[in-house]
Amino acid sequence: MKKTVALLFLAVLIIGCGPKMAKQETLDALAEARAALEAAQSKLADLQAQKDQLQARGAELEDMMSELQAEIDNLQGKIDARCAK
């Protein structure tokens, strides 16, 4: 009898403390959070690509400015040489 009661008590304890299913509200909130995370990661990747493109364009413009400044200096030297005569 004592073994039966102890076994029954143990069975109730194991069943009562077993894993519980999450509520539907919790599952919906989790799914919504995952969707928001995926959207944010996608946006981050897009913005990173845009940043890389803008940095490359900035480097191109810097090179172009250097070339134009060299051309300006060259032309200014020619003007100074001809006007000095």
Range of the domain at 67: 36-85
**Is the pLDDT reported for residue 26 higher than 90?**
no
Degrees, nearest 5: CA angle 15-20-21: 140
35: three-class secondary structure by DSSP: helix
19 within some domain: no
What pLDDT score does 23 carry?
A: 85
pLDDT classification of 22: cutoffs 50, 70, 90: confident
66: in domain: yes
Q: Please give the backbone phi and psi of residue 37, each rounded to the nearest 5 degrees, phi first.
A: -65, -45
- Tracing tokens 């400044």 back to the chain, one arrives at 69
pLDDT band at 65 (very low <50, low <70, confident <90, very high): very high
Residue 17 pLDDT class (50, 70, 90 cuts): low
With b meaning 16 or more CB within 10 Å and e meaning fewer, what string describes 23-62? eeeeeeeeeeeeeeeeeeeeeeeeeeeeeeeeeeeeeeee
pLDDT for the residue numbered 68: 98
Number of domains in the chain: 1
50 pLDDT above the threshold of 80: yes
